[in-house]
Amino acid sequence: MQTATTHLDREHCVRAVQSKDARFDGWFFTAVLTTRIYCRPSCPVVPPKPENMTFYPSAAACQQAGFRACKRCRPDTSPGSPEWNQRADLVARAMRLVADGVVDREGVPGLAARLGYSTRQVERQLLAELGAGPLALARAQRAQTARLLIETSTLPMAEIAFAAGFSSIRTFNDTVREVFALTPSELRARAPKSGAGTPGGLRLRLPFRAPLNPSNLFGHLAATAVPGVEEWRDSAYRRTLRLPYGQGIVSLAPRPDHIACRLTLSDLRDLTVAISRCRRMLDLDADPVAVDDHLRADPFLAPLVDKAPGRRVPRTVDEAEFAVRAVLGQQVSTAAARTHAARLVVAHGKPLDDPEGGLTHLFPAPEALAAVDPESLAMPRTRRTTFTTLVRELADGTLPLGVESDWPEARARLLALPGFGPWTADVIAMRALGDPDAFLATDLGIRRAAQELGLPSTPAALTARAEAWRPWRAYAVQYLWATDSHPVNFLPV
């Protein structure tokens, strides 16, 4: 075991590799000392002898130690580690930012500035826990992005190099050869010809850990879809994306062993960010077995978990957008909230062209909404104040909501805003910030479900009862909501 990976339990890692347990894909990587290849735990080849195995917590650490990716199991395509979506410490927040492409766009100083730490502190903590610093982690991500573009597009290699974030063709060629033991041309020659897309349009498979129950996940996204920004069409959820370099449209459809993803981007440099945000929205890096096993220990929740395991928390691709929509949804029905949001989209959203369907706009940016005349808003005066205060603070950066957010701090800032109560702050924490332990004790649907199950139904008593569900209370919310017949709980037809 390497010094940076002593937190990995060697015995459990060996057993996971020998049993080819796919649940641990992304948690750690197996490097084989004799072949100098690294694999995911579920690699289908005959497992190496235990004495020839060593384990790393990241693909970047494997690459930095001189190992190349297995051509059979393709460890670069495994789901991400659940660790980064269930923690809010420095390392987890840094990993979410790396996945969002911040190192490529802003460098390590930009990453550190967003986190509020020095570059030295960030590098030291990432190296200690992951065996690789931010530059190595970003390099591994660039290599994965390059492979996707090589195999799923017909773009010239020079365009792929810069779209993936490489600074030169030479660096691109050297990295691909080093990581995959193949040249870019050889990678393309090995790719299935039927999977290739066209420039700007890519077809991808987003992996996840089984089981995944798509009903509440896609049901929620479809039932709350804002016309013009989102839609359910041809058994897929489609929506527009505002991205660092441009805009995009994504189509996501559930399949038994993956999510089918079609991406159309105005700038291919946004590919990594778009994939990362779609994975977060669908909660694809979750460990459903660990979550369900924990919740199943409660006799009141066990029948709900056994009936439909693998529920995910439906999240968002844009934290600021969701915060605005949460305010629009205060004390009104789902249909009314969609109507309010659709009016804002038509009046202030950025138009775009969608030749395939009914998507017409990007959701308005906070800067555009901050200029809205409050008197033009069809809502009570107190909610206008809530709305205008929120968008102003989002626009000027006073209220940062993003993947780097510290969950308790962000929740406290939200509660300090006028018109923000526990429900609004907690639903933003759960669905926008990604806090897996956010709990909506005041939600009417949750209280109704609790009463039907024989659980306490007052917010204080229910919160006390839900202590046993920590740290997965956001997932308990999904199982409680599922007791209702609301459309959010059913996969659209």
Dihedral over alpha carbons 389, 395, 397, 398 (to 10 degrees) = -10
Cα radius of gyration (the chain):
23
User: Residue 311 falls within a domain, yes or no?
Assistant: no
| 4 has pLDDT over 90 | no
Do 114 and 236 sit in the same domain of this protein? no
pLDDT band, very low/low/confident/very high, at 357 (cuts 50, 70, 90): confident
User: Residue 298 falls within a domain, yes or no?
Assistant: no
Please give the sequence-ordered ranges of beta strands (E in DSSP) within 215-337, or none if there are none: 230-233, 236-242, 247-254, 259-265
User: Residue 38 falls within a domain, yes or no?
Assistant: yes
Both tokens assigned to 25: 């894909």
pLDDT value at position 193? 64
Residue holding tokens 């992304």? 26
pLDDT value at position 260? 95
pLDDT value at position 196? 47
Average of pLDDT values for 262-277? 93
pLDDT value at position 2? 37
Collapsing DSSP to helix, strand or coil, 75 comes out as helix
Percentage of the residues of the chain whose pLDDT score is greater than 70 = 97
Find the catalytic residue in 25, 270, 435, 443: 443
pLDDT value at position 8? 65
Q: Over the stretch 364-411, which tens digit does the pLDDT of each residue have?
A: 999 999 998 888 888 888 999 999 999 999 999 999 999 999 999 999
| 284 has pLDDT over 90 | yes
Query: Where residue 190 sits, what CATH number does that domain have?
Result: 1.10.10.60
Residue holding tokens 């290849």? 37
Q: How many residues does the chain have?
A: 493
Is 443 annotated as catalytic?
A: yes
pLDDT band, very low/low/confident/very high, at 5 (cuts 50, 70, 90): very low
Is 70 annotated as catalytic?
A: no
User: Residue 307 falls within a domain, yes or no?
Assistant: no
| 88 has pLDDT over 90 | no
pLDDT band, very low/low/confident/very high, at 111 (cuts 50, 70, 90): very high
| 212 has pLDDT over 90 | yes
Do 267 and 404 sit in the same domain of this protein? no
Do 89 and 14 sit in the same domain of this protein? no
The residue that leads in pLDDT, 195 or 313, is 313
Find the catalytic residue in 39, 62, 70, 261: 39
State the average pLDDT for the chain: 92
Do 238 and 111 sit in the same domain of this protein? no
Do 130 and 100 sit in the same domain of this protein? yes
pLDDT band, very low/low/confident/very high, at 155 (cuts 50, 70, 90): confident
Query: Where residue 478 sits, what CATH number does that domain have?
Result: 1.10.340.30
Residue holding tokens 């809010």? 88
Residue 120's domain spans which residues? 83-152+155-195
Do 215 and 191 sit in the same domain of this protein? no
Among 29-33, 178-182, 199-203, 462-466, the least confident range: 199-203
Q: Of 195, 214, 246, at which residue does a domain stop? A: 195
Q: Which of 454, 459, 444, 450 is nearest to 479 (CA)?
A: 450
pLDDT value at position 375? 84
Distance CA 493, CA 490 (A): 9
Whether 420 and 102 have beta carbons less than 8 Å apart is answered as no
Q: Over the stretch 61-79, which tens digit does the pLDDT of each residue have?
A: 999 999 999 989 989 888 8
Do 342 and 416 sit in the same domain of this protein? yes
User: Residue 270 falls within a domain, yes or no?
Assistant: yes
pLDDT band, very low/low/confident/very high, at 81 (cuts 50, 70, 90): confident
| 31 has pLDDT over 50 | yes
Average of pLDDT values for 146-172? 91
Q: Of 42, 77, 112, at which residue does a domain stop? A: 77
Residue holding tokens 């059913």? 490
pLDDT value at position 448? 95
Q: How deeply is 249 buried, as exposed, middle or buried, from its count of CB atoms within 10 A (0-12, 13-18, 19+)? A: buried
Collapsing DSSP to helix, strand or coil, 403 comes out as coil
Query: CB neighbours of 482 closer than 8 A, spacing ≥ 6?
Result: 215, 216, 304, 308, 311, 489
Q: Of 77, 112, 132, at which residue does a domain stop? A: 77
| 201 has pLDDT over 80 | no
User: Residue 173 falls within a domain, yes or no?
Assistant: yes
| 298 has pLDDT over 70 | yes
Distance CA 56, CA 458 (A): 46
Query: Where residue 14 sits, what CATH number does that domain have?
Result: 3.40.10.10
Do 374 and 483 sit in the same domain of this protein? yes
Do 364 and 484 sit in the same domain of this protein? yes
Dihedral over alpha carbons 36, 41, 46, 47 (to 10 degrees) = 70
Do 68 and 106 sit in the same domain of this protein? no
pTM of the complete model:
0.91
Do 144 and 237 sit in the same domain of this protein? no
User: Residue 185 falls within a domain, yes or no?
Assistant: yes
Do 328 and 343 sit in the same domain of this protein? yes
Collapsing DSSP to helix, strand or coil, 4 comes out as helix
What is the distance of C-alpha 389 from the center of its chain? 28
pLDDT value at position 126? 95
Per DSSP, the residues of 88-109 read -SHHHHHHHHHHTTHHHHHHHH
Distance CA 59, CA 29 (A): 7
pLDDT value at position 151? 87
pLDDT value at position 362? 98
3-state helix, strand, coil in the chain (%, to 5): 50, 10, 35
What are the two backbone dihedrals, phi and then psi, of residue 145, each rounded to the nearest 5 degrees?
-60, -40
User: Residue 300 falls within a domain, yes or no?
Assistant: no
Number of domains comprising the chain:
4
Whether 457 and 447 have beta carbons less than 8 Å apart is answered as yes
Collapsing DSSP to helix, strand or coil, 241 comes out as strand
Give the DSSP H or E segment for 31.
Answer: strand 29-32
